[in-house]
Amino acid sequence: MDGIGARAGPMQNSTTVRFIPSAGDPGDRRDRQALNALRFAPADPVNDATALRRPPRPLQKGLQTRATIIEAALGLAANKGLEGLSIGLLAEVTGMSKSGVFAHFGSREELQISVIRDYHVKFEEEVFLPAIREPRGLPRLRAMFERWVRRVSYEIDSGCIYISGAVEFDDRPGPVRDALATMVQTWQDALTRSIQLAIDEGHLTAETPPEQIMFEIHGLILALHHDARFLRNPGSVERARLGFERLLAHSLCPTSGASSDAAAQADPSRSKEARPPRR
């Protein structure tokens, strides 16, 4: 977007309490709304984990305890998967009784959904919100990808809940799968919107298919996660970045100021440093 201001106070939509930057033009608002559209029950300061991210206020002991449980559950889920979560294991990790943990969630399923929500909020704060402060078009799209790559790179030792959760719940219908799929789809919608903005800004050609580009970008991230986490191949991050630039190079507008830079990144042999000196 063009010149987002400082973050405003808490705003409540029909689903949850969020913090979003001050309003910009309609396109920018649609960007933010894309990641805010969580399909759950109305916000509840007791039952909605994301409500715990309000500005500093005296938190009741129950809310503080719930936040502590969710943070511990997020760490466990990153290493053991959502299916590895249990009331008993969380009680052991947090030093609470099983009944004490159960009182905050009521079921293992509710606990899993709360972890998914909290992971989504962290992803939004680290990847999406900083990226949309960049100018519309390729700068914003590149920022989204770069921040996504950075997040995956430091999740190598713990794992990405979006990716591991898809493996666990791809063929298991129910509220947990629905919650996870909604979060992933919401992010993909925001990424697709960013690609469309790059087309609107004249950085990518009008023939560029946003959904296809998004699909291939997502594929690069999955390949990065596989090669870096499973195969432990060195250089996986740089390969993902190179793949991204090569992907963009096929759709760049010839008149775009970013064309030559992107071409050099996609093919290092075309950079100025690689060219033979003039005679």
Q: Residue ranges of the domains in the chain?
A: 12-274
What pLDDT, on the 0 to 100 scale, is given for residue 206? Answer: 96
What pLDDT, on the 0 to 100 scale, is given for residue 261? Answer: 53
Looking at CATH, the fold of the domain delimited by 12-274 is given as: Tetracycline Repressor; domain 2 (1.10.357)
User: What is the token pair recorded at 260?
Assistant: 């030559």
Taking CA 167 as the corner, what is the angle to CA 162 and CA 148, rounded to the nearest 5 degrees?
Answer: 25
Residue 16 and residue 40 in contact, taking contact as beta carbons nearer than 8 Å: yes
Contacts of 266 (CB under 8 A, 6+ apart): 242, 245, 246, 248, 249
What pLDDT, on the 0 to 100 scale, is given for residue 199? Answer: 97
- What are residue 122's DSSP bridge partners? none
User: How far is the C-alpha of 261 from the C-alpha of 107, rounded, in Å?
Assistant: 53
**In angstroms, how far is the first alpha carbon of the chain from the final one?**
45
What pLDDT, on the 0 to 100 scale, is given for residue 79? Answer: 84
User: How far is the C-alpha of 57 from the C-alpha of 60, rounded, in Å?
Assistant: 9
140: nearest Cα among 213, 203, 210: 203
What pLDDT, on the 0 to 100 scale, is given for residue 2? Answer: 38
64: nearest Cα among 89, 45, 86, 90: 45
279 residues of the chain, pLDDT tens digit each:
333 333 333 333 333 333 333 344 555 555 555 445 443 333 343 444 444 444 445 456 778 888 889 999 998 998 888 998 888 888 898 999 888 888 888 888 999 999 999 999 999 999 999 999 999 999 999 999 999 999 998 888 777 899 989 999 999 999 999 999 999 999 999 999 999 999 999 999 999 999 999 999 999 999 999 999 899 999 999 999 999 999 999 999 987 655 445 544 555 444 443 344 444
- What are residue 204's DSSP bridge partners? 252
What pLDDT, on the 0 to 100 scale, is given for residue 46? Answer: 40
- The pTM score is 0.71
